[in-house]
Structure formats: C-alpha cells, structure tokens
Amino acid sequence: MARKNKPAKTAPAKPRTPAPAAKPWEHAKSGEGSASDPLAARFVESLSYDRRLYKHDIAGSIVHARMLNVVGLIKPKELKEIERGLSEIGKEIEAAGADYGAAWPGWKVELEDVHMCIEAALIEKIGDAGRKLHTGRSRNDQVAADLMFWIRDSIWGLGKKFSPLFRALFTLAERDGGIVMPAYTHLQRAQPIVVGGELIAWAQAFSRSLDRFDALYELLEFPLGSGAIAGSSLGIDRKETAWFAERANLLDDFDKPDLTRSSIDGTASRDMACDFLYALAMTAMTLSRWAEQWIIYASTEFSFITLDNRYTTGSSMMPQKRNPDMLELIRGRCGNVYGHLVALLTILKGLPIGYNRDLQEDKRHVFAAYDIVSDSIEMAARIVATTKFNEAKIAQGLDRGFLDATSLAEYLVTKGVPFRTAHQVVGALVRSCESRGYHKLGQLTLDDFNAACAAASQPKVCANDVYDWLGPENVVKRYRTYGNAGVSGFAEQLKAWKERLK
C-alpha cells in the first residue's frame, strides 16, 4: 500500500529584528549608517569612559541654555523645562550607582557618548524644548568645554589629596626629624643631615607639583560657543555663557578675557590636556623617586625605616618576607603615566587644524593618568603616616663613610687655607685613615692634621677646636646656609611649612 505524501512542515517565521534607527545627527546619510554595524557602533563609542563627564556636561548645558534665553533664542519657559529636565537626569544618574551611574538606562552605546545620551534623555523627557538646547553648539566645543571643567575640578581634587601627604610628612618630621642620618649622592655617603631635612626636601618636591597644577588655571581657556569650527551666525554671546559659568562655579574670574580667541583652535586644541598630563607625569616621577628611596631604606641592608604591615605583602614561597609592594607599584605605575602623556602627544602630532575624531582618545589617557596619580598620592600619604625611622639602626653605622670630611675642609678654610688646598689635605687624611684601619677622621691626632697641612705647604693651623667640626652630630649643628638639611635649616623650614599649611 503506497504511503500518502504528508505535506511538508513549514518552519515558523523568525521574528524580524528591527533595524537600528539612524543616529539623530546623521540625517544626511541614507539608511542606518554606522548604527547598522555592531562593530562600527562599538568602535566609535566613548561612552564606556566619558560617562564621568556627566556632571560637567549637564552644568555646561545649563549655562549654555541660560545664555540662549538671554539672547532670545529660547523662551524663559523652555529654559525652566531644560533646567528641570537636566537636573532630574543628573539625579537619576547619581541614583544609578557606582561607575558614574553605569546602571542608568539612558546610557546607550549606539548614541556614542555622554553628550548625546544626556541630550536624547532630555528630549524624551521634555520634548521640543530639549531639541533647542544644541542651538549654536557642536559636540566639538561641548566636549572641549566639558573636559576643561573636569580638569579644573580634578586640580581641586588633587589639591585635597596632597594635604594629607603634607600633614603626614610634617608629623613624621616632628617625631623623627632630629635623627642624624647620612645623605647620599651617587648612592654613596656624602654628608650628615637630619631626617627632617630629607622629609622637608620631599615636601618641597611635592609642592612643585601643586604649583604646576595651579599654573594651569592661567592657561585654561573657555571654548564653548566656538561651534563645530567656524562659530555661528546666530546671536550667541560667549561672554554671557562664561559669566553664567563663573557664577555656577565652573570657571574662575572671567573678568579677564579667557575665551578662546579662535573658534578653529578652540575646538581643535588639546593643549590643556597635555599640560595636565605633563603635571601628572611630573607628580608621578616625584612619587616614584620617593618610593625608590624608601624601598632602599626599608631593605635589610639599610633598615633605616620600618613600613607598616598594611603596606607590605608576603611571599607565596618565602614566609619571612615583607615586601614593599605598595611602594613598588607607585614606582611602576609612573611608567603608565608617562605612556599616557606620550600617547596623547603622538595622537596630536599629525592632526590638521580643526576637530578630528582622533581627539576622542584624549580622555582615555587623561582619565587613566589622573586615576593612577590620585590613588598614588593617597597611598603615599598612608605609607608616610605609618612609617618609623629606626634611630638605633641608623646610628650603628653613622661614623662610616667620613661624612664629616667636607666639614673638616671648611674648618681649614676658616683658618685661612684655600678651599682647593683644604680639599687636598682632607683627601690625604682620609687615605691615611683607611691605611690605618680607622673609620673616623676624629681618630686622628692634632699632629696628624698638622702634618697633612704641612705636606701641602700650609702652616700648622689645627687646634683642639677641630674636633668640634668632626662627627655627624656636630656637623648637622654647624650648617648655616638658608635651606640647609641640618638642625637650623630643618627647624626654620618646618616652621615656614606650618605657617603655609594654615
């Protein structure tokens, strides 16, 4: 019996995935444009790292809207709607949790960046009033302004991070600052100093970092209102925008004309980002040098300092180890900061004048370098605040290395011996000590000193007072020059720093 052919089963139709909508700023293109290719959409986005600009973008949009209202391009009612909508968006982002409100549903990668996401959410919230916000403005001048606002706030933030580091240095200096220790040049023993003298030196080095950041305020220029490249034919008043920005605490003292003077340069320049990165790199360099010094001091061979256990780590194999990993990471991450500076300089070097999409990459490097340096300053403050100098260990070998040799030469100068001759005499005395197995110049007799002077055609000038110039403890009390690293210089500088910190 022949089988009847059964009708073939028809597979159920698959639901069609809706085609992505074209981006709202790509109306001159047919189709969906880059939104239709997931890789292209992901390739052009900066939302994954520029979300941290959301506060500055909202604030910049509000002052831009206030200017638009003043010049008659939007109505007072529309300004109120824009301000209300942007305020609500800011609160929603803050309520969305960590990582700059990562859970906020308004972050849509197909919209590319923080600016378009916030604008799209505003339009969805308030309608046509939101569509008027971008009047006379481009993402080009918008992002340049947002980055300037962010750099300004970050400078303030770094200043606050430095304060605990300075306090920790001076607290340590007050406690351990009088300990006499060797100073080093070429990593060889040079002259005796007090611990406080070296701590003041680090404070001075870090203070220059603050000075560099402060100097950026004089260089920041306000680009908002420059448009895409050529400005606008509308009645935009850039000074009015700057006035509103100053009163919103986004800018400082715009009585001086710090508007960008060229709409082309204002949207194309990233000098402020390079200057900020350079200041960060110099700070990282100083932190790295300090970390290296203390890594050496914490070694068993030196044992000048003891680090708190919270800021050391152990070994997976050697149970006795207390490794200074936090200091080593501060030292190591300096190279990352250098890399971010060089990367941005390299991005900029081949760009023609005017905005190019390469400039989107600036924020990757600025934000990453800032995070590294900010964390490193905070870690340095905690390490300093919990470190102790080991006076007994330092004192054990303090008489080694002829730290008082320069002091002896200067003693001879006070007796009328030319310095170059005094240098020669002391060098001969050091050799004499070494040949006899002595490790201190103070072990020599007056006859030894005067014999060395006579050998250099100098009279017998040494008397018993020569011993007052010898020994590290005596030497650190004799320094007289301003800024010296001995007892008087340390006391003077510590007092000055306390006044400065007030």
Catalytic positions, please? 186, 315
CB-based contact 362:347 (threshold 8 Å): yes
Cα separations in angstroms, 158 against 47, 211, 265, 436:
24, 12, 28, 55
Q: What is the CA radius of gyration of the chain?
A: 33
Determine the Cα–Cα distance for residues 375 and 378; give it in Å rounded to an integer: 5
Cα separations in angstroms, 442 against 281, 287, 381:
46, 38, 40
* Amino acid identity for residue 249 in this structure: N
Angle between the 114-126 and 139-176 helix axes, to the nearest 10 degrees?
A: 120
Sequence-separated (6 or more) residues with CB below 8 Å from residue 314 = 321, 322, 323
CB-based contact 97:193 (threshold 8 Å): no
DSSP letter, residue 443: G
Bridge partners (DSSP) of residue 180 are: 194
- Could you give the maximum distance between any two Cα atoms of the chain, in Å? 139
Determine the Cα–Cα distance for residues 80 and 62; give it in Å rounded to an integer: 10
